[in-house]
Amino acid sequence: MKPAAFDYARPADWPAALALLAGGARPMAGGQSLGPMLNLRLAQPERVADLRHLPGYAGVEVQGEAIRIGAGTTHAAIEDGAVPGRLGAILAGVARRIAYRPVRNRGTIGGSLAHADPAADWVAVLPAFPGHAVALGPYGERRIPLARFVTGVFETALAPGELLRAIELPVLPETARWSHWKFCRKPGEFSKATACLLALPDAPPRLVLAALDTAPLVIEDATGLDPAALVTSISDPWRRRLALTALRRVLEGAA
Amino acid sequence: MTRRPITLTVNGRAETVLAEPRTHLADLLRGELLLTGTHIGCEHGVCGACTVEVDGAPARSCILHAGACEGSGIRTIEGFDADPVMAALREAFSAEHALQCGYCTPGMLVTARDIVLRLPEADEARVREELAGNLCRCTGYRGIVHAILRVLAERRAT
Ligand SMILES: Cc1cc2nc3c(=O)[nH]c(=O)nc-3n(C[C@H](O)[C@H](O)[C@H](O)COP(=O)(O)OP(=O)(O)OC[C@H]3O[C@@H](n4cnc5c(N)ncnc54)[C@H](O)[C@@H]3O)c2cc1C
Ligand code: FES
Ligand code: FES
């Protein structure tokens, strides 16, 4: 349970971080997924580039109608209200149920999304929002819709050499309706089935079904949705029933 | 990879230790600084035995590696002798039989202190939820939950 040898670098600015990445270094945010992977030798990078000390990596900024959450913002900061308004209240409720407080103190929203574990909470929840992941590469920033960011199991739309820089989400009206259900047998465990639904006034309800053995399923208009039809491709009967229950609960919860 | 000097503050004392970047903080504390109060269970973040305070907040020392600790302030169970909240918790743990073998106790106390300070209004359900990240194989948690509730009640009464 000891990692293979690796070198450690702490870039002082973003160009230095991108240069390390170009040289093959593995980015590390909170280390709450990478740390266990190193210990278990599932990851054996030659060099780790620690992003935590980069300027502006953590923190939340309101920019007109959008809220920009630095990728390095911890789950604990979001749990404690770093994001303002209705959106912040929704995200705080999600954050509180990720892992355990000592893990949330270091684990970050960006690290979690970039890791793209299909059972992870931000992976399941963020595609419900009409927002973007902001990627940073040598050319500058590029925006990827959250509904298309996670492309598979541990796979994302980030290109080699790119870092996840921030998440941009819309300011939500107080009337936004939100419904979220996840199943785990013990608090802090990875989810076995998650669904969530966001209904904004004058827009079709958006629904996500996640914790599958694929990328999350994003339904941009869940009006009149038949939950049973959505789960037919899940082969394991127990997981299929759980997914169906998740869908029914969020649809009832949002009604 | 060669060992390199890592400078950090441990229990208020500045320390410089030689370590490989891959050495995790729990091994660094136990092996280099002989602070064996920090226990190691699973080494992948799940059991909570290794929980210490890093820059003022509880963290798993088994998945935090030496390089990343450079410049950090660490507080281990040995660093809480003069802390009034920890003193109250120690007494309550003893009175409520909140430990048997004691393996989980250092991590449990760091988490307990965080609950007491961060969630002064916590009820039993919340205390149990917050303890989900610290495994105890001996006590069945009842004594631990009661000990934390006792300290919370004492603090609310004063
Ligand atoms: C005991 C335990 C229980 C957990 N339970 C849950 C749970 O219930 N739900 C849940 O959602 N999560 C859970 N987690 C995972 C936790 O939320 C992690 O914080 C998260 O998955 C990773 O975030 P991080 O900041 O620690 O990223 P890291 O571990 O540092 O990195 C994760 C991966 O993303 C890459 N990466 C990191 N940052 C960037 C970036 N900016 N750009 C590009 N790539 C990047 C890294 O190279 C690495 O591959 C648990 C973890 C532990 C240890
Ligand atoms: S040894 Fe660190 S959490 Fe188990
Ligand atoms: S007292 Fe033995 S593990 Fe908790």
Instruction: Encode chain B (158 residues) as per-residue pLDDT tens digits.
Output: 689 999 999 999 999 999 999 999 999 999 999 999 999 999 999 999 999 999 999 999 999 999 999 999 999 999 999 999 999 999 999 999 999 999 999 999 999 999 999 999 999 999 999 999 999 999 999 999 999 999 999 999 98
Residue A255: per-residue pLDDT: 66
B132 CB within 8 Å of a chain A CB = yes
The CA distance from A36 to the nearest CA of chain B, in Å, is: 5
User: CATH number, domain at A30?
Assistant: 3.30.43.10
CATH code where residue B119 lies: 1.10.150.120
Nearest-by-CA chain B residue for A50:
B68
How high is the pLDDT of residue B72? 98
Whether residue A250 lies inside any domain: the answer is: yes
Token output for A117: 């574990």
Gap between the Cα atoms of A127 and A56, Å rounded: 24
Of B65, B132, B134, which has the smallest distance from its Cβ to A35's Cβ? B65
Rounded mean pLDDT of A67-90?
98
Is B74 in the same domain as B100?
no
Tell me the C-alpha distance between A76 and A32, whole Å: 13
> Among the three residues B79, B105, B140, which one is the final residue of a domain in this structure?
B79
Specify whether A111 is located in the same domain as A203: no
Q: What is the mean pLDDT of residues A31-37?
A: 98
Residue numbers of the domain that contains A151: 60-170
Q: Which atom of ligand 2 is nearest to the CA of B62?
A: 2
Residues B69 and B108 in one domain: no
Which of A32, A105, A108, A112 to mutate to test binding with chain B, by most B CBs within 10 Å of its CB? A105
Q: Is B48 in the pocket of ligand 2 (CB under 6 A)?
A: yes
3-state percent breakdown (helix, strand, coil) of chain B, nearest 5:
45, 15, 40
Domain boundary, last residue among A170, A193, A216: A170
Lookup: tokens for A121:
């909470």
Among partner residues B43, B118, B132, which is closest to A188 by beta-carbon distance?
B132
Cα-based angle B56, B62, B66 (whole degrees, multiple of 5): 75
Residues A133 and A68 in one domain: yes
pLDDT tens figures, A134-143 = 999 999 999 9
Task: Quick: pLDDT tens for A187-226.
Answer: 999 999 999 999 999 899 999 999 999 999 999 999 999 9
- DSSP-derived secondary structure letter, B92: H
ipTM for this prediction? 0.97
Least trusted range by pLDDT, from A86-95, A104-113, A222-231, B97-106: A222-231
Min mean pLDDT across A23-37, A90-104, A156-170, A220-234 is at A220-234
Domain end marker among B79, B96, B111 = B79
Instruction: Check pocket membership of B133 for ligand 2, CB cut-off 6 A.
Output: no
Q: Whose CA is nearest to atom 22 of ligand 1?
A: A112
Domain's final residue, options B79, B107, B135: B79
Q: Which pLDDT band, with edges at 50, 70 and 90, does A254 fall under?
A: confident
Phi, psi of B74, rounded to the nearest 5 degrees: -110, 140
Predicted confidence at residue B158, as pLDDT, reads: 87
B58: contact with A, CB 8 A cutoff:
yes
CA angle, residues A164, A167, A171, in degrees to nearest 5: 170
Nearest-angstrom CA–CA distance, B91 and B83: 12
pLDDT in tens, A4-21: 999 999 999 999 999 999
Tell me which residue range forms the domain holding B69.
Answer: 4-79
Same domain, B37 and B87: no
Mean pLDDT, all residues of chain A: 96
The CATH number of whichever domain residue A220 belongs to comes to 3.30.390.50
Angle separating helix axes B142-157 and B84-95, nearest 10 degrees: 130
pLDDT above 90 covers a percentage of chain A that reads 96
Rounded average pLDDT over A64-73: 97
B45 CA: distance to closest CA in chain A (Å): 7
Using a CB-CB cut-off of 8 Å, the residues of chain B touching A185 are none
Which tens digits make up the pLDDT trace of A37-58?
Answer: 999 999 999 999 999 999 999 9
Q: Are residues A160 and A210 in the same domain?
A: no
Length in residues, chain B: 158
- Per-residue DSSP letters for A123-182? HHHGGGSS-EEEEEETTEEEEEEGGGTEEETTEESPPTT-EEEEEEEEPPPTT-EEEEEE
B22/A103 CB distance under 8 A:
no
Ligand nearest to the CA of B139: 3
Tell me how many domains chain A contains.
Answer: 3
Q: Which of A5, A50, A76 sits opposite B68 (nearest CB)?
A: A50
Are A116 and A217 members of one domain? no
Token pair in block for residue B153 = 């009640």
Task: pLDDT band for A1, please (50, 70, 90 cuts).
Answer: confident
Distance B137 CA to ligand 3 centre (A): 5
Same domain as A127, residue A90: yes
